[in-house]
Chain A
């Protein structure tokens, strides 16, 4: 099994290299010059030429690529054209914000989506099943921005229970230590800071979790129904096991496999940042950062962030494989 994972890990390298080449050429193929974008409509050609020189944009693309790869080998992702700060620092400053809500959303979705799926599958076509199916269909098809707005209107404006946006009340000042608002708030010891950080998380996490919980619920329900019709389930029933034991010990395990794939992929996607959710809740995550970088043609940031996303995505799918092996003895046997 170890050999399997080493092999899988090594196979990531050519994929990453391919991603690098594609991104490097694609960003340069988009029409538009970073110097033009940075200076805006009022600039003259002289000003633009001077900035291009300063940003070293005039070197041939091949040379730029070569320097970039050399830098990568030394762990250097380059410098943002807009801010002049190292790209890796810029990414690391924003990744915790994204991680914070992505992890919370996945946990919430698993905790809500799985039982819902199981309960619906064990009572197919009951009133409960129908109402859950309508709810989850709504969850899947409701655009994130709409749900976000509705939640803001109800819980922030109308009821006044939760903050509209941001990660922390403006009136609480917390120093940046880890980048995770809750942890930094706790470390700061400021009264009310942890509470403020948690309350600010509720709405964005709900929006992210709603879609995932609904997807997961539908998935678990479908596979569970299928599994419950399998021969081995009938055998287990015939052996005299209780319905509960059959459902939770035998059927659920196998039904969870496809669900894990879905959760894993969705989680990886969330690490790439949820642009709409981050924008509406003014959540300073990686998604918005990438969006702005593309608008500004900030080549090093686009390249660096894409590489980091690709790596995170691959690691997540590796984790999913690992979970498969843990849950299903048949998969484990095949790997060895």
Chain B
């Protein structure tokens, strides 16, 4: 036991010497200057485009390792640009999409890129991925008349198809690599993108190396590392210490990033990049209910007028979210500005009067407000609760774990709920069709719109209209009709926020899909 004591002494001495000697975190040899470290809150669900289900982290890695035929042009996402496709045309009936492909591209494994690879990749995703049944599943036939030509024929007109081709599920994979690795392709993804896959350590990090042969030019970074840091406070410390270069997309996650905003806003070493998103969060009514107070549109309007929208943005979100007026965000190309005037405005006195007109006694009204779990939803629910208390309506909040919440929502066992949608493709179809088509009400978390053949027909017609101007007009009409029915109080749209070290240049925050590209990013 003398040994123990001696050891104890040695340990103390060691601890002391650790304390006085200047130990820096080791830095390896100039690599920092060209290695970009991105902190993400969770591990990627997978790096396989074929089975991608729109999980954000894996999807972003996919879009940096692979290319798609087309992509939305940054920074405003109003126009598509060609990537692996040089040019394209759409037939008048909106069913045939012809692409002219680049002929100077090779995959990371040396396989040349051509129309066969396109056909192979899209067919592969359709076969592997039930998630794309309603979108890529529309492809009836793919023709490859030459190595640089590919023609898709759809079973019905679907103008959002181009948007779908910009999705990670539509990334073009190397057919030789798929053959070589088989089921293990997910661990050896091979594409044409600006970065090559190097290593994946589960729950730890994903390492990508620059593709110096990239057809748009070699990236400026030599390595890209996604490092998993689950705890928000740790991510913050790491960014402040320079251990990571970027904290990604705090805005769309389950917490309000205002605490980080406050911590970073005065820090000259850190820049805050933000971009409006197409995410919508709303207080929605179960619009299919035939009886109960909310079957009366006047009551729904009164509730919508009781909510202090600007107060919510200032008080809860401190500038990290924006107003929404109807079923589309203001940055959507199909947004109709007229909706801004049609939307109910904050006016508690008028709300009380409306309730009286509908002969509803607010004191007799007790409503359960269902919500997702998490601090952000809790804060929103409490804010709404206080607003409704002002007009005399008593609200009980029920934050419910997601799977149970979905089950009771789809079953229609609720009156009022907080909900939202984050569209991945840049098309009004992503919000309108699934949210408001009455035939879908029992199959997903929707607004549960009552059966309305007229509105349903308009929605389906707009979904398939090939002419963009006509289409936009159709969506204007749909937006106005929806807003007039007050199916929800549209609460806010969170901004996409990225925190980066001040020496990071060239990063653009993408909105739909909310995935960033690092090809043009540099570190000074």
Q: Which residues of A contact B (CB under 8 A)?
A: 31-33, 36-47, 50-51, 53-54, 82-84, 90, 93-94, 111-112, 114-115, 149, 152-153, 156-157, 160-167, 169-173, 175-176, 190-192, 195-196, 199, 202, 248-249, 252, 279-282, 284, 288-289, 292, 297
Contact = CB atoms under 8 A, between A and B. Distances in A.
Nearest to A50: B130
Contacts of B45: 38, 82-83
Contacts of B4: 111, 114-115
Contacts of A31: 401, 403-404, 407
For chain B, give the interface size range: 35 or more
A306 B373 CA distance: 26
Interface of B: 1-2, 4-5, 7-8, 11, 18, 22-29, 31-32, 35, 37, 42-43, 45-46, 51, 53-55, 130-131, 133-134, 186, 199, 201-205, 207, 225, 227-231, 233-234, 237-238, 240-241, 243-244, 372, 401-404, 406-407, 410, 419-422, 434, 440, 442-445
Contacts of B404: 31-32
Given A162-B23, A171-B27, A171-B31, A284 B204 contact: yes
B37 A44 contact: no
Given A157-B240, A169-B28, A280-B234, A46 B133 contact: yes
- The 5 A-B pairs of least Cβ separation, nearest first, read A32-B403, A50-B130, A284-B203, A192-B26, A45-B443
A53 B32 CA distance: 46
Given A32-B401, A169-B27, A280 B233 contact: yes
For the residues of B in contact with A, the DSSP-based class is mixed
Contacts of B43: 292
B244 A170 contact: yes
A163 B25 contact: yes
Given A93-B202, A112-B8, A115-B5, A152 B237 contact: yes
Contact of A37 (B134, B234, B402): B402
Given A44-B440, A196-B26, A166 B130 contact: no
B288 to A, nearest CB: 16
A84 B54 CA distance: 17
B23 A156 contact: no
B406 A41 contact: yes
A164 B241 contact: yes
12 contacts: A36-B407, A38-B45, A38-B53, A42-B422, A45-B444, A46-B133, A50-B133, A82-B45, A157-B240, A161-B24, A173-B207, A279-B231
A171 B28 contact: yes
B501 to A, nearest CB: 13
Contact of B241 (A83, A157, A252, A288): A157
Contacts of B403: 31-33, 36-37, 297
Given A38-B53, A111-B11, A156-B237, A191 B28 contact: yes
A152 B233 CA distance: 10
Contacts of A47: 130-131, 133
Nearest to B48: A84
Given A172-B28, A199-B26, A288-B203, 16 more contacts: A31-B403, A32-B401, A32-B404, A111-B11, A157-B240, A160-B241, A162-B23, A164-B234, A164-B241, A165-B238, A165-B243, A169-B26, A199-B25, A202-B18, A284-B201, A284-B228
B138 to A, nearest CB: 14
A114 B3 CA distance: 12
B402 A176 contact: no
A46 B440 CA distance: 11
A123 to B, nearest CB: 14
A90 B203 CA distance: 10
A85 to B, nearest CB: 8
A22 to B, nearest CB: 21
Contact of B227 (A111, A282, A289): A282
A252 B3 CA distance: 14
A170 B37 contact: yes
B402 A41 contact: yes
Contact of B419 (A38, A41, A43): A41
B27 A39 contact: no
Contacts of B443: 44-46
A135 to B, nearest CB: 14
A54 B53 CA distance: 14
Nearest to B27: A171
Contacts of B42: 292
B35 to A, nearest CB: 6
A288 B230 contact: yes
Given A37-B403, A41-B419, A164-B243, A282 B230 contact: yes
Contacts of A161: 18, 22-24
Given A31-B404, A37-B403, A280-B231, A192 B28 contact: yes
A44 B444 contact: yes
Contacts of A292: 42-43
A44 B202 CA distance: 29
A161 B130 CA distance: 50
Nearest to A108: B11
A39 B402 CA distance: 11
A230 to B, nearest CB: 18
B445 A171 contact: no
A251 to B, nearest CB: 11
Nearest to B12: A112
A167 B243 CA distance: 12
B523 to A, nearest CB: 12
**Of A82, A163, A170, most B-chain CB atoms within 10 Å:** A170
B23 A199 contact: yes
Given A171-B32, A282-B228, A284-B228, A39 B207 contact: no
Given A45-B410, A280-B234, A169 B207 contact: no
Nearest to B443: A45
Nearest to B183: A84
Given A111-B8, A171-B32, A289 B203 contact: yes
Contact of A163 (B7, B205, B243): B243
B203 A166 contact: no
Nearest to B51: A84
Nearest to B244: A170
Nearest to B132: A47
Contacts of A36: 402-403, 406-407
Nearest to B38: A170
Nearest to A175: B199
Contacts of A199: 23, 25-26
A47 B444 CA distance: 10
Contacts of B202: 83, 90, 93-94, 284
Nearest to B31: A171
A195 B440 contact: no
